[in-house]
Structure 1
């Protein structure tokens, strides 16, 4: 039913002060407060950015389409593809009754060890800003608000709720604020999320300079600013700084806001302004005109063929071909292939944390290759393990909610051996939550089995009436569940063949923390890998014409709440690659990680694909690339360092620079992250920013400037011809970097200022034109508080990666140019 949209100014004035304040915190985890008296509907938000989970828990819930993660989309360097993804996600959001998607994530890759590395696009602010702008435009064209995050300085997970990111002003302006500025000015997002952390000593959610002076006044942002979940630390102070909406609800930080507003006119004015922002977001998402059913029961999990096709195409286009000696790839259509490794028969399609969802499907590389080649041409062996935790069970589970006397007061049926509580049955109080979870363990054969528990709360496990794991009496805080949970506790038990009754007892544990509480428990169960598994994989690989070794990490390793473990592949994966290669010289490594890893076998391996976590159609996308149905369209959006010490945040004494100490993490590297750092330090990366191969070859020629000298305030166009010089259709990325020949302040050796994705049939050519304006030439002068482009010479470098820039053009700026932010 269509409802007329009210006049917001009139509606705002009709609200009592108490009602205005009620709009400034969520009603629950995913919804704003509805005010039926004035027909103000609730607005539902949903986690993204690689899908729309809806209003359920992080596991289970309504099935949804899982898109490639941020770094996979970043690898496409394809602005129009990001726009398509945004449009498709808007439709998914409508299915879930959501008018707001908590996406995109546009923090930069400052360090290779950031736990949410997989979730962002790139190390470069310009590439990030261009891709994010298109994503936001596509999403909002479908009537769904983007929530650009995390503003700002959230480049690692270590102590993220309290740490101060101490960022020099030039680095703040030129790197970390720049993609947000581009998105705000070019895409006009309707919402932005503040980060948990402090910047230079002040919580972002309480920073008038960041939220009001820069975001609203300088850039003209006219939308709503919401907190990250639990990232509101004060009442009137955060509101006066510019934070409109506290999430989740009910309010924890703003419980005394009414009293503050009644006694302080400035706070009362801030309440009025922020309530207006909530109303405007409801209007922009057309929720007044078309109120949504925001309940979980109304969510739809519809699968669409065009969405599947888009995810598959995007996954292939984000896959980066890093090595292809003697043209080993693509594989022949009639090849026999051994698919080996811990990621071979498992669809590793997403990272962990709030970005995870219940995907419609998780197509593994093995499934994809068998569908393409036929089952009789594809063999498989796991070889080794790369799991951080024992796997969960897809089993029915009964939850019995216990009263104070131990009697059952409510029951609930779920599926899966990981349970998170975001809502409770009627009559069950969160303050006295006590649950007994019953499930059946099936042992196909008699033998030893591994079991594990970790939980955000107290837990213990009994099997057949015998206690197996005690994670109750000596519960210790660990790194799971956004640092609310314990570490995994394991045990091994001999089980006879057949079914065994397991009981998990769970009770919340109050954890002193600055963010909202969280309750969850996870049971892991499996039979250990046979001792012969490694040798069996090597044998099978040697019997096939080709071997595809599927190694990497999982969403358990690459996840929100904890930073990456290091750069070595977990377990025996490096040894497995070397052993398979010795058995079969025609070996392809398919690497799935959320960021750079070390590759001690690189020189010996003839072919290497970086596949990331490319969404639910992963195996089909990989098969398309492996067989040449699709060109590997990806180019690295992040420098792959040769060793951890080459990372700009890991000098000899790294603690204060990464991960931080005494409540501060100092961005001492300033402007020099990624390829900027590699240029300055003179290090040779394993793979350079922008790198990637095609199954064909390209040549750039006939580069020209529209003018060799520009006046202050003018722009200049750069044109270059791209020709496919090979025998197949393919894709490349034209990359333009700018160098300031002589600047008063230190600048990077080169900076990305333009790019274009080009697809060409064999033998054809296309002219690409890229535009440079004054901001392209400028740096931020913190002594003048201004953007400055100095008169003099600039070099324009053109090529197909940051390490391959054969074309050089000269440009002169006649006079100094400057502009205030």
Structure 2
């Protein structure tokens, strides 16, 4: 539910007039103050007009709130690629409602999600945070997400407007895009979500397009607010509001974060000297007040809706169901899946991600879940106690020392699964202390009540217990001087900093490390004291006037022999009825802040899979990655299941699919590449990123260049068979009949593509124009209509600067993927 400026709310006949009356009570200084954030996550209150503090929070894989803290955990939903793989708008609205409930639980008014930039290239580091390579699928999934969130009276922020499709030089690159590609691909999801789903906020990106940084781009005024009639607020990405130029009429409305920034006194002075009209300030403030009214932040005006509080059982059920619905079965030789648990006596669970699943990507999408079900635990939960389950890691996939398991730590007072944290001033006086139950820690503004500006160093004290005998690396990650004592003896004193040119987000995803080495026997305990001198580091995140935001890890891990680990995994597989190998990426590979340099799985995971498959014909590989990775062994294993980053219910959802409790419901929202070759470049040249491929990204590019991916866009297998019987066209829709021709109930994603074989306008060979999710019992026939948007048959006329129609006959194709189209019908399109 949303409203325009004139909608009746809470008995007020004209909300627009009410907001303008309140605005008139403010001085110029007060109005300008509203246009820059109060701090990192909130806007200024204004008691004069009944405006309370307005809080925003990162998403999209959960609601972080104002802190990344295990003491206030967040429901971790599946990653956006996993959500898009469901192709299920109803499911996305449910996830949106869950997130609205989480927002209200955490005191959040506006969620900084969804991200609807496109998968232009598989190397995009933030690929997992976006939905798809296809603008139509992205638009429909993103719109459903927004509708779900806003139905709970919480604002959604569609981002990053626009062409923020790469992380390399993301703060500065200038995207050079043709007008057709800009309109038909990159702007298209924003248009649908703004015009149809009525998003309440849009985030302007860091990058430039056509030489204008997006916070100052005329597209904000001419397209977003003008052509599309957007009535919400446009905020900057964090630190993207760089100058007073963005304060011009119709451009940026809100600079984040605050309280410092390029506006403030400078904007007041600009209004006073006539260089910026006060009407521009009024319009920006009015947009902020309009969002405040919608979320219930203005006294006397009720929110447009209330989020429904969800209990733990409802959250768990939704997350588990959604995760399995997005999993894509890529290979299933001779019906290897589902595994018949009654026939299993021994199962080998192998792989670096088996015991510690990755549930989300790195960067601002990170949340602290209340728990994570690993694939190993999910498989244990699903199988009878008499099935022997043997786990082997198969070797490490990174040279980084892992974060210490909190289960191996105890605070000095004996508290299990804990570490004592002490905050010291520059004279080494104790300011505050706290006991924490995590080893990846972050603070903002204050620490245990002490202002971070007064904190000179943070000291971590714990007893570490070795689970196995061996050589251990023990230390920490972050920025500053790290001083480590082990059993009272200094083992390390080292300055730790990011490499030159690194994105500050790397502090979250792959912070630099320092560590010492120590030999321990199983069960041996060692006292650990890690002191981090903050004064030696820079935690300003780009603004020296902001409070420090230290991010620190305590690291501990046993040094392993990769050859021996692989041999142990092979031996476990040799003696098992089935081998389940869980492979995947790491924070070093998929994260905000940097693009990928390779599509291969890190470490020796490819070798591990091949070796296991050689000794066990029933080898099932689960891929735990948020974006495409190369699968050179796919044809040599029995089955491949793509689990994405599946959220906190990862293991249970994976087991549900492996053992047939549910259908693997997902279909690929992105073409799955077979090699490193032929993809659009993500590397700017002299600051310019050229979108030279034009309209031909993803499956459009594969078809244009007669290349084949490993798995095509829309692909995914199930546990039953489908017959496509008939398609006709009527009243702007494709009417389709399909039948479940298998022996069990199943789920199908019916996809409709259009083509124009004899057209004079350059177009892709085919493009997605509609889809529907169908559930049917064995032998059941389903008939349904797939709505076709008129825009799907229009193109952007660059010369005329408008949408145009080439009249004539378009061909509709329906099927299981872009490469498996089984029905055809003609559609005549006429000039309006």
TM-score (norm 1): 0.91
Indicate how the Cα distance of structure 1 residues 593 and 427 shifts in structure 2: closer, same or farther if over 3 A, else same.
Answer: closer
1:341 aligns with 2:365: no
Partner of 1:593: 625
Structure-1 residue corresponding to 2:55 = 44
Cα deviation, residue 465, structure 1: 5.3
Rounded to whole Å, the distance in 2 between the matches of 1:39 and 1:266 is 27
Is 2:641 aligned against 1:641? no
Match status 1:523 vs 2:554 = yes
Change (3 A) 1:426 1:582: closer
> Which residue of structure 1 lines up, in the alignment, with residue 734 of structure 2?
718
What SS does structure 2 have at the residue aligned with 1:205? helix
Select the residue among 421, 427, 441 that pairs with 1:405.
427
SS in 1 for 2:820: coil
Q: CA deviation at 1:86?
A: 0.8
Change (3 A) 1:81 1:352: same
Q: Write the mapping of 1:342-491 to structure 2, written as runs, cut at 5 A.
A: 342-377=352-387, 378-387=389-398, 389-393=400-404, 394=406, 395=409, 396-425=418-447, 433-444=455-466, 447-464=470-487, 467-472=490-495, 476-477=499-500, 479=502, 481-483=504-506, 488-491=512-515
**CA distances 1:369-388 after superposition (whole Å, capped 9, x unpaired):** 11111343132221212346
TM-aligned CA deviation for residue 502 of structure 1:
2.2
- Contact 1:452–1:488, Cα closer than 8 Å, also in 2: no
Tell me the CA shift for residue 633 of structure 1.
Answer: 0.3
Query: How many angstroms apart in 2 are the aligned matches of 1:103 and 1:521?
Result: 26
Match of 2:188 in 1: 178
Say if 2:521 is the partner of 1:498. no
Q: Any gaps of 5 or more consecutive residues in structure 2? A: 1-8, 303-307, 410-417
Preserved contact between residue 589 and residue 609 of structure 1 (Cα < 8 Å): yes
Task: Name the residue aligned to 2:688.
Answer: 664
* 1:776 equivalent among 792, 809, 822: 792
Partners of 2:291 and 2:617 in 1: CA distance: 58
Contact 1:680 1:749 survives alignment (8 Å): yes
Asked if the contact 1:70–1:120 (Cα under 8 Å) also holds between the matched residues in 2, the reply is yes
User: 1:216/1:456 Cα in 2 relative to 1: closer, same or farther (>3 Å)?
Assistant: farther
Match of 1:262 among 269, 272, 276: 272
1:361–1:288 Cα change, 3 Å: same
Residue 652 of structure 1 corresponds to which residue in structure 2?
A: none
Could you tell me which residue of structure 1 aligns to residue 3 of structure 2?
A: none
Pick one of 545, 560, 567 that aligns with 1:535. 567
Query: Is the contact between residue 504 and residue 541 of structure 2 (CA under 8 Å) also seen in structure 1?
Result: no
Distance in 2 between residues matched to 1:473 and 1:702, nearest whole Å:
65
Q: 1:602 aligns with which of 620, 629, 634?
A: 634
Deviation at 1:100, TM superposition (A): 0.9
Contact map agreement 1:401 1:409 (CA 8 A) in 2: yes
Counting only pairs closer than 5 Å after superposition, residues 19-98 of structure 1 correspond to structure 2 as 19-57=30-68, 59-98=69-108
Structure 1 residue 367: Cα displacement:
0.9
The alignment's TM-score, normalised by the length of structure 2, stands at 0.90
Distance 1:812 1:35, change over 3 A: closer
Distance 1:464 1:565, change over 3 A: farther
Q: Distance in 2 between matches of 1:399 and 1:597?
A: 39
542, 548, 551: which one aligns with 2:580: 548
Distance in 2, Cα, partners of 1:129 & 1:36: 38
Shift of residue 19 of structure 1?
A: 1.1
Report if aligned partners of 2:293, 2:301 keep a CA contact under 8 Å in 1: no
Once the 2 structures are TM-superposed, how far is the Cα of residue 109 of structure 1 from its aligned partner?
A: 0.2
Alignment partner of 1:799 is 2:815? yes
Instruction: Please point out which of 236, 243, 254 is paired with 1:245.
Output: 254
Q: Deviations over 1:275-322 (max 9, x none)?
A: 111111111012225899xxxxxxx99852111111111001000001
Q: 1:758 to 1:219 in 2, by over 3 A?
A: same
Moved more, 458-467 or 626-635: 458-467
1:150-229 to structure 2, matched below 5 A, reads 150-207=160-217, 209-229=218-238
SS in 2 for 1:127: helix
Find the aligned partners of 1:673 and 1:434 in 2 and give their Cα distance: 50
Partner Cα separation in structure 1 for residue 83 and residue 511 of structure 2: 32
Tell me, what secondary structure is at the counterpart of 2:752?
strand
Aligned CA RMSD, in angstroms, stands at 2.6
Deviation at 1:60, TM superposition (A): 3.1
Q: Are 1:507 and 2:534 counterparts?
A: yes
User: Cα distance 1:507–1:671, how it changes in 2: closer, same or farther (>3 A)?
Assistant: same
Unaligned runs of 5+ in 1: 293-299, 650-656, 707-714
Query: CA–CA distance in 1 between the matches of 2:479 and 2:279?
Result: 40
Q: Distance in 2 between matches of 1:685 and 1:141?
A: 39
- Structure 1, 446-455 or 377-386: larger mean CA deviation: 446-455
Aligned pairs, how many? Answer: 791
Contact 1:21 1:257 in 2 (8 A): yes
